[in-house]
Amino acid sequence: MVFHLENPIRQSWHDVLKVIAAELGISGSGAFLPYKVWLAKILAVPDDKIEDNPAKKLAAFFEGDFEHMSSGEIILDTSEARKASRSLRLQRAVADELVRRYVGGWKKVRFLS
């Protein structure tokens, strides 16, 4: 038996990003880049500057797998996990307030400034 541990409730990544951007004070028409533009910027980071932009460490994943995995092409079957777990059966979309708490926590530990 396999349990896929992911939120069984599908939700828009863009909606979550809007909350994160608001918490970080990021706004305006340039607040969100199209994925391909963002990826090109990551790939353009020189290898000797990888610590300035750690996303470059995951460049192969972002280039080869991330887009089709995150776009809804791959949906993990959570029916067995939900049968076994009351918490997963009761799961809802990630609430905006929880996203705000995550950002607050990241700020507190200085992961984000």
pLDDT in tens, 28-71: 777 788 889 999 999 999 999 988 888 999 999 999 988 877 76
pLDDT per residue as tens digits for the range 98-113: 999 999 999 999 988 7
Q: Buried (b) or exposed (e) across 60-77, using 16+ Cβ within 10 A?
A: eebeeeeeeeeeeeeeee
Question: For tokens 């828009």, what's the residue?
Answer: 12
The Cα–Cα gap between 27 and 21 comes to: 7
Q: What is the pTM of this model?
A: 0.68
